[in-house]
Structure 1
């Protein structure tokens, strides 16, 4: 349960103001078809985050040594700093009309590619390394992405004007920092 709730909270907060959330808003305003956009985000996130969690889980199994656990903890601390750097998305960059592929496939491909190397994908790798339950990590990170992006699709422009993105970024950074410091304290034996 800890893997699911931690993964959900970290990714939902980290996604606020992220380039994939901005992409969700852009797709919603350009195509005005929320259901295929939401389904495209869901499928792209499941695929991307399963692979990321699998990589993290595989690395943790191979490198189950103290230094590696410190590296995972340090990655959470670094993610805290990275979360404070707002993403930008070039709205002038054209998104091609869906054509034959349709809105779903356009969203699926765009989200999968934009998520590559993104902070939420890297967080998923770290979560996969920290927790044994790959299914819970993938479910949690996907749920976190959906919590952040479904409202962006449904209420895009109005939401951007009312939600204090900086406060959400700071909260996400504090969550990453707290998790990283807790892991270090646990490795040092300071936590019971």
Structure 2
């Protein structure tokens, strides 16, 4: 259960103001009335991407010493904190994707957008940290959905309520706290990669 909660929280916060959240806004505007197809596409892309990332993290954890893992995780989460403060730009190259349909366009766009993204790296780190990969994948997927479904359903109205800059700041602060706790072996009863 701990892996699920930590994974959900980390990814939901990391997604605030991320390019995939901006992609959700864009897809909702390009495919009006197709919100459920977009949401299904986000779900499918996330499951595949995060299964791969968590498995990679699990493999790395079984081949690297606990002290090295702790330092890598701690520094990675501090890096995620800095990365969360940097606004993402969604590159729009003029291809509206309408020929492929809302679902297929979303699956491909989200899968590619997540490659090398901070949430993918967070999922790798969480896969290295927790032995229960299924809970990591469920948690990261639910976190991704929690951040992106409102973006699809509410569109631009959401950014008027909660500015993206504030969402990024909260995500950065939580990543930094998590990284510091890992580096200093503070666990408060949690398994923080030590």
Which category of TM-score, normalised to the shorter sequence, fits these structures?
Answer: over 0.9
Q: CA contact under 8 A between 2:51 and 2:137: conserved in structure 1?
A: yes
- 1:109 is matched with 108
TM superposition shift of 1:164: 2.0
Q: For residues 57-103 of structure 1, give each alpha carbon's deviation from its aligned partner in whole angstroms, at most 9, with x where no partner exists.
A: 11001113412321111101111111111111134x2233332x321
- Alignment pair present for 1:183 and 2:182: yes
| Aligned positions of 1:73-112 closer than 5 A | 73-91=74-92, 93-99=93-99, 101-112=100-111
Query: 1:152-187: CA deviations, max 9, x gaps?
Result: 00011111222122222111111111111111121x
Partner of 1:42: 43
State how far apart, in whole Å, the 1-side matches of 2:80 and 2:61 are. Answer: 18
> Residue 22 of structure 1 aligns with which residue?
22
Q: Which residue matches 2:59?
A: 58
* CA separation of 1:104 and 1:185: change in aligned 2, threshold 3 A: same
Aligned-CA RMSD value: 1.6
Q: What is residue 192 of structure 2 aligned with on the other side? A: none
> Is 2:30–2:96's contact at 8 Å kept on the other side of the alignment?
no
Aligned equivalents of 2:89 and 2:97: distance in 1? 22
TM-score by length of 1: 0.92
Q: Determine the structure 2 residue equivalent to 1:132.
A: 131
| Whole-Å separation in 2 of the counterparts to 1:103 and 1:184 | 43
Contact map agreement 2:20 2:113 (CA 8 A) in 1: yes
Where structure 1 has 5 or more consecutive residues not aligned to the other structure, the ranges are none
Report the TM-score when normalising by structure 2.
0.91
| Count of matched residue positions in the alignment of Structure 1 and Structure 2 | 188
